[in-house]
């Protein structure tokens, strides 16, 4: 697109290429972040296996159903005496030991089928059925915070496009490194001059350049698939007065139909690197930061014929942060006997993910949890899960 073709409509509706990166512009100017509370949502796309993430080694059924994976947990860090944290989650385990991380097990949305598309839709919209809601629960949180605090917090996905969880009426944007050639300084100066008389577009352009500067240049981030690089980038974009207060990161490839142990190990190493790099990168701001990690559904309890697992129901979630009341596992454990399994094959869900999201987010940002539950998940009447944050 030439400079003459870069008009107001294109800038408002599209994605700007800024150097070797892209920044999708919101439909209105960014508001500066309100307060100093940071919340990041990490979605594990593909159905991450909660039984591998946090193995219930104290349940006799685990050894019976997962015998090929038992050696993975030899010498693993124990959690609450009943569970074992996967050894690849080393930094997450350290945060658990330091009281800054907790696990929530046997958790799921209200979805009981096994489609990735439908499951992710419900995880991100918070609806009671797939495609009932068109906006995301995280975007509704941005809107609720704007009402409560008088100013919308800046919301930013570190992703090529804005994920469904952050789409909606509240302003949100995204940033991702790209292999596109860099824009020249002359081009950027001409765009700035073109829009300097338009307050809205000028503010958007300034914010775009500021975001790219905060990212530290795309050479600092090899790829969003590299967990450590993505974690450092997220921290750079969420620190300081100009940083985003609400963030989101995606990690895909959790669909472990084949070679469960090997594939999960690689994925867990990458997730752990992301969380560790983000925690370190936030520095002193970690004290005011929360990270929620969740997936659309779990895996089958039994290992299949290709040493993998198939689509299941309940899984595990992780909550980390400087104000998290960690060092524990929140679970109403359903058991792994044949009669305990959901439909004779899956870990039975006993905790609703939407209750965790509402309770954790509300406590962290200072919103009344019941109000958050009502506004973020309007199709659900459950009570929020509270006590996530230290009192």
> Do 170 and 186 fall into the same domain?
no
Residues 193 and 6 sit within 8 Å (Cβ to Cβ):
no
Residues 170 and 139 sit within 8 Å (Cβ to Cβ):
yes
**Class of residue 219 by CB neighbours under 10 A (exposed 0-12, middle 13-18, buried 19+):** exposed
* Cβ partners under 8 Å of residue 175, min gap 6: 21, 22, 23, 24, 156, 157, 158, 211, 212, 215, 237
Q: How many domains does the chain have?
A: 2
CA–CA distance, 277 with 40 (Å, rounded to integer): 13
pLDDT at position 25: 46
SS3 83: strand
pLDDT at position 80: 96
> Do 203 and 276 fall into the same domain?
no
Phi-psi region of 73 (alpha: psi -120 to 50; beta: other; left: phi over 0): alpha
pLDDT at position 183: 67
SS3 288: helix
> Do 185 and 236 fall into the same domain?
no
Domain termination residue (choose one: 164, 194, 220): 220
> Do 249 and 289 fall into the same domain?
yes
* 389 within domain boundaries: no
CA–CA distance, 41 with 291 (Å, rounded to integer): 6
Range of the domain at 266: 35-177+228-376
* Cβ partners under 8 Å of residue 35, min gap 6: 149, 153, 245, 365, 366
Q: Could you report how far apart the first and last alpha carbons of the chain are, in Å?
A: 54
Say how many C-beta atoms besides its own lie within 10 A of residue 324's C-beta: 26
Give per-10-residue mean pLDDT for the chain (391 aa).
35 42 43 67 98 98 97 96 98 98 98 98 98 98 94 94 97 82 68 74 61 58 83 95 96 97 98 98 97 98 97 98 98 98 98 98 97 98 97 80
> Do 300 and 172 fall into the same domain?
yes
> Do 108 and 216 fall into the same domain?
no
pLDDT at position 18: 47
């Amino acid at each position: 697109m030439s400079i003459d073709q870069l008009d107001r409509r294109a800038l408002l509706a599209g994605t700007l290429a800024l150097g070797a990166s892209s920044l999708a512009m919101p439909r209105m100017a960014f508001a500066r972040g309100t307060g100093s509370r940071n919340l990041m949502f990490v979605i594990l796309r593909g159905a991450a296996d909660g039984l591998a993430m946090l193995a219930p080694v104290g349940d006799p059924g685990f050894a019976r159903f997962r015998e090929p994976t038992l050696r993975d947990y030899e010498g693993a860090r124990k959690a609450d005496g009943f569970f074992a944290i996967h050894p690849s989650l080393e930094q997450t385990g350290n945060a658990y030991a330091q009281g800054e991380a907790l696990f929530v097990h046997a958790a799921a949305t209200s979805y009981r089928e096994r489609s990735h598309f439908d499951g992710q839709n419900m995880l991100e919209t918070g609806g009671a059925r797939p495609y009932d809601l068109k906006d995301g629960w995280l975007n509704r949180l941005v809107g609720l915070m704007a009402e409560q605090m008088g100013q919308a917090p800046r919301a930013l996905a570190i992703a090529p496009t804005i994920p469904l969880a952050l789409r909606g009426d509240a302003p949100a944007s995204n940033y991702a490194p790209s292999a596109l050639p860099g824009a020249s300084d002359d081009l950027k100066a001409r765009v700035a001059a073109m829009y300097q008389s338009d307050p809205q577009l000028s503010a958007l352009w300034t914010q775009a350049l500021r975001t790219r500067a905060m990212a530290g240049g795309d050479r600092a981030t090899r790829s969003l698939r590299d967990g450590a690089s993505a974690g450092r980038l997220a921290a750079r974009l969420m620190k300081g007065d100009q940083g985003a207060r609400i963030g989101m990161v995606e990690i895909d490839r959790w669909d472990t139909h084949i070679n469960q142990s090997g594939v999960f190990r690689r994925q867990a190493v990458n997730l752990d690197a992301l969380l560790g790099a983000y925690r370190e990168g936030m520095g002193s701001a970690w004290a005011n930061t929360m990270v929620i990690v969740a997936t659309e559904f779990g895996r089958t309890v039994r290992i299949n014929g290709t040493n993998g697992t198939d689509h299941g129901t309940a899984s595990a979630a992780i909550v980390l942060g400087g104000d998290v009341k960690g060092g524990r596992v929140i679970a109403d454990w359903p058991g792994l006997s044949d009669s305990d399994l959901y439909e004779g094959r899956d870990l039975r869900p006993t905790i609703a993910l939407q209750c965790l999201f509402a309770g954790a987010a509300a406590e962290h940002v200072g919103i009344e949890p019941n109000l958050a539950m009502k506004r973020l998940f309007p199709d659900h009447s459950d009570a929020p899960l509270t006590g996530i944050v230290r009192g």
